[in-house]
Amino acid sequence: MSLHFTNAVLIDPEAGTEFQGSVTVEAGRITAITPDGLANPKGQIIDCRGKHLAPGIVDLGVKVCEPGERHKESYRSAGLAAAAGGVTTMITRPDTDPAIDSPETLEFVTRRANEAAPVNVLPMAALTKGRDGREMTEIGFLMDAGAVAFTDCDNVVTDTKVFSRALTYARSLGALVIAHPQEAILSKGAAVTSGKFASLRGLPAVSPMAERMGLDRDIALIEMTGAKYHADQITTARALPALARAKDNGLDITAGVGIHHLTLNALDVADYRTFFKLKPPLRDEDDRLAVVDAVASGLIDIVCSMHTPQDEESKRLPFEEAASGAVALETFLPAALRLVHAEMIGLPALWRALSFNPARRLGLSQGRLAEGAPADLVLFDVNAPFVMDRTALRSKSRNTPFDGMRMQGKVLATYVGGACVFEK
């Protein structure tokens, strides 16, 4: 059956446009986009009532805790949360227990995802065995098993010889390497960003220069090896000039940032609120504003949720001891829309970072509003107000820093391959 989305405000991140129109879907793909509406459409008609229709979010860097910690998040719960948040494709991280560092483990999680999640799930694999930075994984075999990228997540590969060899081998296979730019010794044990606030709270801190130093090292190795590289999170103003120079020099480098670092700052930690403990830690307001500008200008390519479930026992600890990370699949869209409401970025530019750029970096056909593209779509009300209630989240873990906050923007429906997987 064909679907016709009518009376919608369409967001085309590839063209950078926003316009009134209609979309026709047949056999799971977009077959027509009509700016002025459809004449005598056949099939099921969905009246969008003037709300926004956009490509579904492609979320690069979701942690699902299978295998090993299924009580924190399963593929079913993560998939339901993603669908409710307008995320139609999850790119999952390999920082599980055990790590996803072999074809057998990768095949297990792929099978679990296909069985349980209502959205697309594409796995990343570990760059080194056990994510311990000593021995490279079988990148070729893992690519054959379906790995779309390789990363040790927040475990920095400190041995530059191991890292350079992995980058060289990845380049020979055309594989994308994703790294966490931090100087590992400086940032070890840090809970917050250094400064007056950290000193007043008596918390172990790390200088923003640790990120710059880590990025500088990685850029040198990319220049040496010619590898495809993505920095998972750039969160400080001091790292941006180095990123710009690397791009200007023609290196195959892209960068991302988590939604929490775009919408929160170091002062939100307040009285040791562990739901605000992230890795890297939240930055000063000047850093946040600089990074938002970098997303708006396109210097930072991708915005991701960095969805990291942690159970109550992991978070209800003194700030230094509490686990890092926050859930974000369901809060991703309304948090991102804070930037739109603050007039810091337009919807097409935001959607380029949420959907088009991550899909393009991974060589996927998703993330586009164009004829022939998969009908992975999200219908949302950009202005709908609500108060975030973490107890209503679909994730098994509910460690969101947005609990109790007033937010704007609700997902009304999510479609994957033309099939409705969520409806408000």
pTM for this prediction? 0.96
pLDDT for the residue numbered 422: 98
Tell me the pLDDT of the chain averaged across its residues: 96
pLDDT for the residue numbered 86: 98
pLDDT for the residue numbered 39: 59
Q: Look at 42 and 170; give whichever has higher pLDDT.
A: 170
User: Averaged over 19-36, what is the pLDDT?
Assistant: 92
| Each residue's pLDDT tens digit, 368-391 | 999 999 999 999 999 999 999 999
User: Averaged over 15-33, what is the pLDDT?
Assistant: 95
Residue 359 has pLDDT above 80, yes or no: yes
pLDDT for the residue numbered 40: 64
User: Averaged over 385-410, what is the pLDDT?
Assistant: 96
Residue 223 has pLDDT above 90, yes or no: yes
Residue 119 has pLDDT above 70, yes or no: yes
Is residue 133 very low, low, confident or very high in pLDDT (cuts 50, 70, 90)? very high
Please give the share of the chain, as a percent, with pLDDT higher than 70. Answer: 99
Report all structural domains of the chain as residue ranges with CATH numbers, in order of start: 3-52+375-387+406-423 (2.30.40.10), 56-361 (3.20.20.140)
pLDDT for the residue numbered 37: 63
Residue 38 has pLDDT above 70, yes or no: no
Q: What's the 3-state SS for the chain?
A: CCEEEEEEEEEECCCCEEEEEEEEEECCEEEEEECCCCCCCCCEEEECCCCEEEECEEEEEECCCCCCCCCCCCHHHHHHHHHHCCEEEEEECCCCCCCCCCHHHHHHHHHHHHHHCCCEEEECECCEHHHCCCCECCHHHHHHCCCCCEECCCCCCCCHHHHHHHHHHHHHHCCEEEECCCCHHHHCCCCEECCHHHHHHCCCEECCHHHHHHHHHHHHHHHHHCCEEEECCCCCHHHHHHHHHHHHCCCCEEEEEEHHHHHCCHHHHCCCCHHHCCCCCCCCHHHHHHHHHHHHHCCCCEEECCECCCCHHHHCCCCCCCCCCECCCCCHHHHHHHHHHCCCCCHHHHHHHHHHHHHHHCCCCCCCCCCCCECCEEEEEEEEEEECCHHHCCCCCCCCCCCCCEEEEEEEEEEECCEEEEEC
Please give the share of the chain, as a percent, with pLDDT higher than 90. Answer: 95
pLDDT for the residue numbered 1: 75
